[in-house]
Amino acid sequence: MNKAYLSIFLYLVTPALLRAEVKPHALFSNGAVLQRGCVVPVWGSAADGEKVTVKFAEQEVSAVASNGQWMVRLRPMRANAVPQVMTIAGANTVEIKNVLVGDVWVCSGQSNMQFEMHWLTDSAKQIALANDPLLRLLGVPQGGATQPKRDITASWSECTSQSVEWFSAVAYFFGRDVRLSQKVPVGLINSRVGGTAAESWLSWRALAANPKLQQIAGKEPVEGGASFLYNAMIAPLQPFAISGVIWYQGESNAYDASRATVYRELFPTLIKCWRDDWGLPELPFLFVQIAPHNDMVPEIRESQLLTWQQTAKTAMAVITDCGHATDIHPKPKEPVGARLALAARAVAYGERVEYSGPVFAGMKVRGGKATLSFTHVGGGLVAKDGALKGFTIAGSDNKFIPAEAVISGSTVIVSSKEVTQPVAVRYGWANVPDVNLFNKDGLPATPFRTDCVKGVTEK
């Protein structure tokens, strides 16, 4: 190329090289679902000082990029199942097609949330049925970072037999049932990594600010310890407008009683961290109580129960009937998703439905028998498949022995001929509880011990 042509080439190309293209965040890509009924932030990158205009659903909003970033906010919109186009224009124009408006849920946790559809016992049948263009899926790439990231590399897809095969089974069944109950488009953002502890999913700032968790946080963020996953897989999603979170995690915090007890502090701190960083103080947070397994101590279920009882706008799906003594990844995932979706109907959507099995509320002792009262009795208490089981009782010596238990109206009366003056009762207090107390709505009671949570009532 001679000098004359080179000069012309550089004259034409240099401005384009110096100009940073307008680029939306990966969450705003073809097939996206935007949250209905609230202000919707839309953001991305561009050259400093560049004016960026977003057009969507008869709205037009502009912002000027600063420090390489821009953000606009769309006014609240009604659900819309008709695909629309979002236009983002600055120095260049980006068209995002096939965008719906409905409800968006973040689905997070460890391996039981990662558990994919093709691992189900009846996977062929379930996958063949999973075709719904109004259910959209997005998987966050797995990875970690010592500092919060701004973006991810991912894209949305419509739910088909092909796209769902490697997607979370719990998340899919949850989304499917929410679609059926709410009759709106649903977007599922799956951010999960197997074998991970809760502290990996909190910001370092939140851990360090809690005196009881500062030892976990350490002096500064380091590769692989606390906050590593939060920085790469949760922080980049904020402040995307969402309906709520479903969470299935705790196995990696449950291998001994002392670690499981720390979860009482760790888990509520995680919920508050996510709510604070999303700027949504009442963000619905629905979670799964750990399933029965040889390595899962009962203290982890108690920590989860206490978190639910002490944290507003949360709910817990009990799955004592869905575990496996030697398989930490039990195959029944449809009931798990269904119970989370039922909780969403009550907590997120305000429906008057029973969403939990019986929860211990108080105990009275009279005549050598302990009478237990419960919340979430629903249509009434029942013993599933035979006589009531799973109860133990103790006197002042604190030695727990198997007890007889019978249902009396909305209470359970527990006794033993060997304990004349009961002081405490436990239910399902084992790594693999053998229990069968349900309500007539088909939901199992959570394990509990009266000697720790005596008289606790739901807040």
Which pLDDT score, from 0 to 100, does residue 225 have? Answer: 79
Long-range contacts of 211-215 (CB under 8 A, 24+ apart): 212/262, 212/265, 213/265, 213/266, 213/269
Retrieve residue 104's tokens: 């968006």
Which pLDDT score, from 0 to 100, does residue 3 have? Answer: 55
pLDDT tens figures, 376-400? 999 999 999 999 999 999 999 999 9
Centroid of chain to Cα 145:
21
Which pLDDT score, from 0 to 100, does residue 10 have? Answer: 42
Pairing mode of beta strands 51-56, 23-24: unpaired
pLDDT tens figures, 194-241? 999 999 999 999 999 999 999 998 877 677 678 999 999 999 999 999
Which pLDDT score, from 0 to 100, does residue 453 have? Answer: 52
Which pLDDT score, from 0 to 100, does residue 155 have? Answer: 97
**Segments of 140-206 assigned E as strands:** 157-159, 186-192
Question: Bridge-partner residues for 57, per DSSP?
Answer: none
Q: Please state whether the peptide bond connecting residue 239 to the residue before it is cis, i.e. omega within 30 degrees of 0.
A: yes
Which pLDDT score, from 0 to 100, does residue 4 have? Answer: 52
Positions in the chain short of pLDDT 70 = 1-19, 221, 224, 453-459
Nearest CA-CA partner of 336 in 449, 262, 439, 249: 249
Q: Is residue 200 packed enough to be buried (19+ CB in 10 Å), middle (13-18) or exposed (0-12)?
A: buried
Alpha helices in 203-322 (DSSP H): 204-209, 214-217, 228-233, 257-278, 298-310
Percent of the chain's residues with pLDDT above 90 = 92
Transcribe 10-44 into DSSP letters.
HHHHHHHHHSPPPEE-TTSSTT-EEESSS-EEEEE
Question: Bridge-partner residues for 434, per DSSP?
Answer: none
Distance CA(20)–CA(355), nearest Å, equals 50
pLDDT tens figures, 315-353? 999 999 999 999 999 999 999 999 999 999 999 999 999
Q: What DSSP element (H or E) covers 169?
A: helix 169-182
Centroid of chain to Cα 356:
17
Q: Mean of the per-residue pLDDT values for the chain?
A: 94
Distance CA(383)–CA(438), nearest Å, equals 6
